[in-house]
Amino acid sequence: MKNFNYSDENIYDRDILIAIPSMVIAVATLFLPRELASVTIALDGILALLIGGSITILITWMIVKLASRFPQQSFLTYTSLLINKPIAVLLTCFFIWYGILVVSYEVRAIATISHLYLFDKTPIEVIALNFLLVVVYAVSGSRSAIFRLNALFFPIIILIAMFVTILSFRFVVIDNIYPILQTDVKGYIEATKKSVISLSGYGQIGFLLFYISLIRNPVKTPGKAVFGMSSVIGINLLIYTMCITVFGNLATSNLMFPTIELARTVEFPGGFFNRFESLFFVVWTIAIFTTSVIAFDAAVMGLQSLLPKVNKLKFVFFLSPCIYFLSSLPKHSPEVGDAGRLIGTYGLTLTVTVTIILWIIYIVRK
């Protein structure tokens, strides 16, 4: 099999800017409004989103700033430099395992959602396999191509999120924003926790520790990364606000996927686009696709840094059956949700602890 080789495997600052929303916007965005609404009153979740967003931006900045201190060095290299080789290998393995888990979760989640809304009779396993095959195809190519693909899809995803927002303005009920600030502190803490997990893409921003090494001269990268993260927070704020103002707090907290429901609410009079949700599904599948591709590629990248002599495709073909197997483990959709929460906690804890420890060591060594 011949592959087309790009002249270089380098990426630019703006690729990171786009990669962040591509990674983070996925399944969690579809039900974040429900999670926030269930612990807060009326529109108070906005506050939690803003606090959670600030925390996520801080984490992102820390990750990118740290990684950009070691330009063109892989995670394994600079971690070995900061701590020692065995621990660096162990941490890389943790991230590889995390990447595999994320792909499995996304594959299963998109299969479950498609099964619920689109394909009534097609078995979940078949949808999952088809989706995974496309992901494998994207990962087996060039790495910089993935980032170019993100740049292609990103505007479409933003556009569709805007569309959902603008078109559902007609259904907004102003009364739904009241009462203001009646949530207790416990509710805010719970909601902030949920927003951090969701906004960090279940901790996927940790993959940036790997990807910054592809940038030749990462001086401006931290700023761009913060900007990319802000766009994610903006989109989530918009979607959450629309869900609450259209459905009210109670209904939002009782909808399985409020964001999908929002797209389903939009109805054009007559004509071709009478049903907007078909378009929404196509685009959101793309969003989940980019997430899965990056997570898969990050796992492959980790393996490559551990075993630099082995061909990339061998890793891909070794990982794919494992991912497919993992994705078929949950019995029903609540178990998929539980798995998501578990992976999210694992990923976020891993990312945050690794970043903080590396920072501390970096400062002490300096």
Partner 1 sequence: MIKRKNIPLLLSCFLLIFLTGCWDYEEIEERAFIYGLAIDMAENHSSTLPAIKMTDQVIVPSGTGTSPSQTGGGNQPAYRNLSISGTSLVEINDDISKMASRTLFSKHLQVIIISEEVARQPKLLPKLLDIFTRGQQMRRGIKVAISQGDASSLLDIKPEHSKVPAEYINFLLENQKHAETIKALRIGKMQEYFLSELSFNIPFLYIINEKNIENDGMAVFNGRQGKMIGTVTGEEAKSRNLVTGEARSGNLVVDIGDEQATFEIKGTDSNFRLINKNKANPDLEVNIEVEASLNENFNTTNPKNKLSKYEKFVEEKVRTLAEESISKAQHELKTDIFDIGTYLHGHHYPYWQSIKADWDSGENIFSKSNFKVKVNATIKHSGNTLRSKGSSQ
Q: Does 179 bind partner 1 (CB under 8 A)?
A: yes
Residue 117 within binding range of partner 1, rule CB under 8 A: yes
Q: Is 267 in the site for partner 1 (CB under 8 A)?
A: yes
Q: Which stretch binds partner 1 (CB under 8 A): 72-80, 117-125, 216-224, 334-342?
A: 117-125
Nearer of residues 74 and 114 to partner 1, judged by Cβ: 114
Among 126, 152, 282, 356, binds partner 1 (CB under 8 A): 126
Q: Which of 24, 25, 39, 42 forms a contact with partner 1 (CB under 8 A)?
A: 42
Shortest distance, CB of residue 246 to partner 1, whole angstroms?
8
Q: State the Cα–Cα distance between residues 204 and 340, nearest whole angstrom.
A: 12
Distance in angstroms (rounded) separating the CA atoms of residues 245 and 178: 10
DSSP state of 269: S
Q: Does 168 bind partner 1 (CB under 8 A)?
A: no
Q: Establish if 125 lies at the interface with partner 1 (CB under 8 A).
A: no
Q: Should residue 261 be labelled a site residue for partner 1 when binding is judged by CB under 8 A?
A: yes
178 contributes a contact to partner 1 by CB under 8 A: yes
Least distance in angstroms from the C-beta of 179 to partner 1: 4
203 vs 155, 218, 344, 345, 348, CA distance in Å?
Answer: 23, 22, 6, 8, 4
Q: Can you name the residues that pair with 215 across neighbouring β-strands?
A: 11
Whole-number Cα distances in Å, 341 to 25, 69, 198, 334: 16, 32, 10, 11
Query: 275 - beta bridge partners?
Result: 267
User: Which segments within the chain are labelled E, that is strand?
Assistant: none
* 250 lies in the site for partner 1, by CB under 8 A: yes
Enter the tokens of residue 46: 């906005």
Instruction: Name the one range near partner 1 by CB under 8 A: 211-219, 247-255, 295-303, 324-332.
Output: 247-255
Query: Which residues are paired to 267 by β-bridges?
Result: 275
Q: State CA 54 to chain mean position distance.
A: 17
Is the distance from CB of 95 to CB of 75 less than 8 angstroms? Answer: yes
Q: Binding marks (x or -) toward partner 1, 97..116, rule CB under 8 A?
A: -------------------x
Binding residue (CB under 8 A) for partner 1 from 3, 84, 122, 278: 122
Q: How many residues bind partner 1 (CB under 8 A)?
A: 27
270 near partner 1, judged by CB under 8 A: no
According to CB under 8 A, which residues from 282 to 341 bind partner 1? none
Cα–Cα distance measured from residue 343 to residue 333, given in angstroms and rounded to the nearest whole number: 15
Dihedral of CA 177/178/181/184: which sign? negative
Minimum CB distance to partner 1 smaller for 248 or for 337: 248
Phi and psi angles of residue 6, each rounded to the nearest 5 degrees, phi first: -75, 155
Burial class from Cβ neighbours inside 10 Å (0-12, 13-18, 19+) for residue 175 reads: exposed
- Position among 7, 175, 185, 272 found at the interface with partner 1 (CB under 8 A): 175
User: Restricting to residues 53-82, which ones interact with partner 1 according to CB under 8 A?
Assistant: none
Residue 44 near partner 1 by CB under 8 A: no
**Judged by CB under 8 A, does residue 342 bind partner 1?**
no
The reply to whether 130 sits near partner 1 by the rule CB under 8 A is yes
Q: How far apart are CA 206 and CA 355, in angstroms?
A: 8
92 and 307 Cβ atoms separated by less than 8 Å: no
Name the site residues for partner 1 (rule: CB under 8 A).
1, 41-42, 116-123, 126, 130, 175, 177-179, 182, 247-248, 250-251, 254, 261, 264-265, 267
